Amino acid sequence: MSGHSSLRRSGGILLHPTSLPGPGIGDLGPSARRFADVVRDMGLSWWQMLPIGPTGYADSPYQSPSTFAGNPLLISPGDLAEDGLIAPAAADERFDPRRVDFGAVIPWKRSLLDSATAAFDPAKTNGAFDEFMDEHNTTWLDDFSVFTALKRAHSLRPWWEWDAGLRHRLPADIRAIRESLSESIRTVRVEQYLFDRGFSRLRRECTERGIGLIGDIPIFVAHDSADVWANPSLFHLDTAGRPTVVAGVPPDYFSDTGQRWGNPLYDWDRHVETGFTWWTQRMDRVFKLFDLVRIDHFRGFESSWHIPVAEKTAVNGEWVTAPGRELFTHLRSTFGDLPVIAEDLGLITPAVERLRDESDLPGMKVLQFGFGTESAHDLDHFRDHVVAYTGTHDNDTARGWFESTEPARVTERETALRLLGSDGTDFAWDLIEAVFASVAAVAVTPLQDVLSLGSEARMNTPAVETGNWRWRFEWDQLPPELVSRMNATVRRTGRV
C-alpha cells in the first residue's frame, strides 16, 4: 500500500457501476468486466467509482445506511443466474437503457435477491461464506444485518422512531429480534456475501488488466444508518437519538444558501478516547476494496461547518476544529503510506492545505472550475502531486458547461477558448487533452466527457434533491474509434 509520493503519471476514467449497461441498473457483472477491457484498451490505469454502499435518501450513494456494506442493487442478475440462484429468464427484464428508474428497478431487484438468497446454500461455497462472516461480523456485518432487518420490519421508518428498547439497543430487545427476524437477518448477510464476491471478482479482473480501482467515501455518514444506530456516542446526538448539530457547507460556488447536508457530526473527543477505532475499521474496509480512495470533503478533518439543527439553510453555522492531524498520524502508523486522495474543493484554508501536505496526500484540481477570475483550478495552479479532473460527478458535463446560457458562463467560456486554444467545436475533448497534457500525477475524465454528452448526462446537481444518479450509457455510444482516440491521447501525453 503506498501514498501519493509514489503515484506515477497515469490516466483514469470516472464511471459509477450503476451507469453501466445491464438490466435496469448497471452492476458488477458481465458489463463491468467488459468495461474493464475498455479501460485497458484506452490505455488508462484507473477506474474511479462513487461510493458503493447501499443507497439511502433520494438514491444518493453519499447518504448510505452503512459506510461498510455494499449496495445489493449492484449484484449482477447474470452472475446469479450463472450460479443457479435464479432462473436465467429472470435476469432479462427490460428497462430504459439510458436512465435508472429507481422506483421500478428496486422492487424488481429486491424480488430477484429474495429468490437468490432463499436458494443460496453456504455449504456449497467451500467455506468462503463462513470466512466472510468471520472477517466482518464483529466489526460491522452483525450491526448492519440486524439494523436492515429492523428497517424492513418497520416499513423503513428511521431508527429513532422505533421503540426505546430497539432505539437504544437494549440486549433483551435485540435478542428477541434476532429470533423473530432471523430469516431477514440471514438474507442481509447472504446479500453482502454475494456483493463482496462480485466485487472481488471485478477487482481481480481489473488487477489482471493493470487497472487500479479508485473508491470514494463521504467524510460523514447518514443519520439513518447502522453506523450511527450502533455507535451513538461517536456523534452529537440528544437522548432521543436526534442530532443537535448537522453538517454542511456555507454559501459557495454551488449555492447562495450553502448546502445543509443534514448528517450528524462527529463527537471527535469520543473518537480520540477510543483511539479512533471506528475510523481504523472504516479505512481498513475501504483499503481492502480499492487501490486508492478519495475522501469527500477532506476539509472536515481540519474543521467542519456545524449548523444548529433548527436552521433550515446552511447560512448560519460555525467552523469547529477537528483532530485531523492526530487521526491521520494514527492511520499512517496503522496502515503505512495512505492511498488516499484528499477532496480539497470549496473553501480551503492554509490550515487545510497544511493537514493535506503533512499527511502526504494528493489534492484535487477540476479544470472546469479553472476559467473564473483568480481560480485555484486553472492550469497554472496544477502541480505534479494532484489528481486532476475535467469535471466530477457534481459538475455539469464539459459540453453541458460549455453550452450553458448562465450569464457568468459567457466570460468563462471566452477564457476557456483562449486558454485551451479551442474553437469550441469539440470542447469536451479540448478539456480532456488539456487535463491529460498537464503536470498532474493522475488525470481523470468522466465517461460523459469522452462521449461529448450534454447536460442530459449530468450525474448529480448539488443542492437539488431529486432526479440525480440516473444516467446510463449504451455500448453503441462507445465505438472502437473513441476508445482508440482516448488511447492516442494517453500515449501522446505520456500517461501509459
Q: How far apart are CA 47 and CA 17, in angstroms?
A: 10
Return the beta strands (E) in 300-392 as ranges: 303-308, 318-321, 340-342, 363-366, 386-389
**Which phi and psi (to 5°) does residue 343 adopt?**
-75, 95
Q: How far apart are CA 271 and CA 20, in angstroms?
A: 38
Residue given cell 478539456 in the structure block: 431
Please list, in sequence order, all residues whose beta carbon lies within 8 angstroms of the beta carbon of residue 154, skipping any fewer than 6 positions away. 161, 162
Closest listed residue to residue 26, CA positions, set 83, 91, 75, 80:
75
Partners of 307 in the β-ladder: 246
Closest listed residue to residue 364, CA positions, set 339, 328, 389:
389
Task: Please state the length of the chain.
Answer: 496
**Beta-carbon count within 10 A of 424 CB:** 12
Q: How far apart are CA 134 and CA 49, in angstroms?
A: 27
Question: Which residues are identified as catalytic?
Answer: 296, 343, 394
Q: How far apart are CA 158 and CA 237, in angstroms?
A: 15
**Amino acid identity at 95:** F
Q: How far apart are CA 231 and CA 470, in angstroms?
A: 32
C-beta of residue 327 within 8 angstroms of C-beta of residue 276: yes
C-beta of residue 424 within 8 angstroms of C-beta of residue 417: yes
**Beta-carbon count within 10 A of 281 CB:** 15
